Amino acid sequence: MIEKRCYQKLDEPVVVWLGLEFHEVVVSIGTGMLVALIAMFLAGLGLVGLVLGLAAGAGIMALFRSLKRGGPGYVFSRLYRWGLLDLLPNGLRPRHLLPIPGAGRRARFRMSPVLGEEKDHGASNAAKYYGR
């Protein structure tokens, strides 16, 4: 049996414009149009509403492009490094994540204690890690 190459790339997303997929472009344009219509007709802003709609659509497109820049897991890793995942309630917080010392800035993370033993032997860290 002779194997033929498949020229279709079914596992890759279809990039439509500016590195964005079709649904992302549609959401951006739709949001811009919705903001423009609301601002132009309901708020009575006229041409200013049209400019606001264009700015909203361009802003959503820029947001989508920045989210895709770092690859899979980029947004999650940024939220983890900034310490924003610790602000979630216990039911929504992902379990088995190590707490980051000095969250909010680029701190060095060490797996073993350097300055000595803790008095509670890491009970607070264990509660964050196991989610209990």
How sure is the predictor about 69, in pLDDT bands with cuts at 50, 70 and 90?
confident
What integer pLDDT is reported at residue 36 of this predicted model? 92
**Of residues 52, 64, 55, the one with CA closest to residue 26:** 64
Render the burial of 45-58: b for 16+ CB within 10 Å, e for the rest: beeebbebbeebbe
Rounded to whole angstroms, the Cα distance separating 75 from 66 reads: 9
pLDDT at 68 over 90: no
What integer pLDDT is reported at residue 117 of this predicted model? 55
**Between residues 16 and 122, which one has the greater pLDDT?**
16
Q: The whole model's pTM is what? A: 0.53
